[in-house]
Amino acid sequence: MKIPLKPSMLKVRRKGIKWIIIHHTSEMYEQPEARIDNPKYQLPGLFKGVLEMKQGDINYHYVIDKIQEDYVPIVCRPFSFICEWDDINADINERALHVALLGNYDFKIPEKRLYDILAYRVLNPALKLFRIPPSRIKLHNEVTNNKDLTCPGDFVDAAVIEAMVRKFVIK
């Protein structure tokens, strides 16, 4: 399936990137493809969600999907536009890069390889390019005003993300 590209529905980013926020896709897209990770390319499942919710594009800048043997970060919403998160303080959200792990990590433990790819291919380059410290990487549940939110899932470990970021630091 092909999703229509509708940048006119998106809000242009006016402020620099100062925060990186980690999610899992099961919070937003109800399609079964968004709730499990398996070796099939699952982004089309998210596109169905975009159409149903009448969004301009997927509401994350990057989604890390699992394709065959490995995890692959995919550009979803170009980072020159902001994502729509009413539960996150606008001061943070307008300066945030949103990265989602495809699946539901309330039920599944992330593989070490997923953390590796997240840090090496997405987090570390963004820290370097936008000149922000690792302390600006937050889990969605740390920046939301919704107390019941578990995103990016109970099994995602901030300490492991921190360790992987240290491993791939770009000097």
Closest CA to 149 of 24, 48, 43: 24
Closest CA to 101 of 168, 49, 27: 27
Q: Which amino acid appears at position 63 of this protein?
A: V
The verdict on 35 binding Zn ion (CB under 5 A) reads: no
CB nearer Zn ion, residue 81 or residue 168: 81
Name the minimum Å distance from CB 34 to Zn ion.
12
Kindly calculate the radius of gyration of the chain based on its CA atoms and give it in whole angstroms: 15
The verdict on 88 binding Zn ion (CB under 5 A) reads: no
The verdict on 151 binding Zn ion (CB under 5 A) reads: yes
Name the minimum Å distance from CB 151 to Zn ion.
3
Total number of residues that touch Zn ion (CB under 5 A): 4
User: x/- string (CB under 5 A) for Zn ion, residues 6-25?
Assistant: -----------------x--
Name the segment binding Zn ion (CB under 5 A); options: 10-18, 30-38, 53-61, 151-159. 151-159
Q: Which amino acid appears at position 77 of this protein?
A: R
Name the minimum Å distance from CB 27 to Zn ion.
5
Q: In b/e form, how buried is each residue of 128-145, taking b as 16+ CB within 10 angstroms?
A: eebebeeebbbbbbebbe
CA distance 33 to 38: 9
Identify the helix (H) or strand (E) that includes residue 70.
strand 70-75
User: x/- string (CB under 5 A) for Zn ion, residues 105-144?
Assistant: -----------------------------------x----
Q: Which residues bind Zn ion (CB under 5 A)?
A: 23, 27, 140, 151
